[in-house]
Amino acid sequence: MDGNGRWAKSLGQSRQYGHQVGSSRVYEIFKACTELGCRTATFFAMSSENMNRNEAEISFISQLLKSSINEHFSDLIDNKIKFKVIGDLSSLPNKILEIIQHAENETKNFSAYNLNIAYNYGGHWDIINAANLALLNHKQINYETLCKYLSTSENYPDLIVRTGGYKRLSNFMLWQAAYSEFQFLDVLWPDISKNDIESIFHNYENTQRKFGLVK
């Protein structure tokens, strides 16, 4: 979800305002994705590296995480959406952790849809975390044991979309992205629309995925 800062700047507003409007788009865009047949989406809210930004911005985004959960809790329940926050959550205040855990617990048995937020998430962190968890139970790590302990388990993204004009992965799902399709949009995240989602899905459907095979 890149581009909140530039979007706000273009309006003469603060970065915080950009994040606030950006966060208000998350559930709406998730719904648009599900209407087109997507069952799982992960929104990259904060990378491990974003945590080096100034304290006020980090704290503001963590509060947005809390208020988004509170605002959409009943939507998660009504629409049977399993909710999860992935990433290293150890730096979050207890009050926010409790709200996350409550939403995760109350939705854990749903299987129709999955809405994940990646917060203080990095692909490097995910792989190292999975390796450490795997080593607690196994003498040696192989492909299956490592996948089992990744924050996504073995559900890999078919498609990764980055808004904001840059063409890079910025430490997102490095392991899981092995055969993902990529789409990079110039649109700044707060401006993303249902039309953009429709065109992303249309492009995806017209891509032949080969997974290294000859077709």
Q: Active-site residues: which are they?
A: 2, 50
- Which is closer to ligand FPP, CB of 149 or CB of 172? 172
C-alpha to C-alpha distances, 165 to 12, 128, 185, 188, 192, nearest whole angstrom = 20, 29, 6, 8, 12
| Least distance to ligand FPP, CB of residue 93, Å | 14
Cα–chain-centroid distance for residue 88? 13
Q: Is 122 in the site for ligand FPP (CB under 6 A)?
A: no
Q: Of 21, 34, 37, 77, which Cα lies nearest the Cα of 192?
A: 21
- Token readout for 53 is 């930004």
The total of other beta-carbon atoms located within 10 Å of residue 146's CB is 18
Residue 110: phi and psi, rounded to 5, are: -75, 145
Per CB under 6 A, 6 contacts ligand FPP: yes
Between 51 and 80, how does the x/- string for binding to ligand FPP read (CB under 6 A)? ----------x--xx--x------------
Choose the binding region for ligand FPP from 2-10, 31-39, 94-102, 132-140 (rule: CB under 6 A): 2-10
Query: Can residue 38 be called a binding residue for ligand FPP (CB under 6 A)?
Result: no
Check binding of 50 to ligand FPP (CB under 6 A): yes
Assigned token pair, 134: 């795997």
Residue 12 CA to chain centroid, in angstroms?
A: 28
Place of tokens 């459907």: 205
Q: Which stretch binds ligand FPP (CB under 6 A): 22-30, 152-160, 177-185, 205-213?
A: 22-30
Give yes or no for residue 45 binding ligand FPP (CB under 6 A).
Answer: yes
Binding site for ligand FPP (CB under 6 A): 1-6, 19, 22-23, 26, 45-46, 50, 61, 64-65, 68, 117, 164, 189
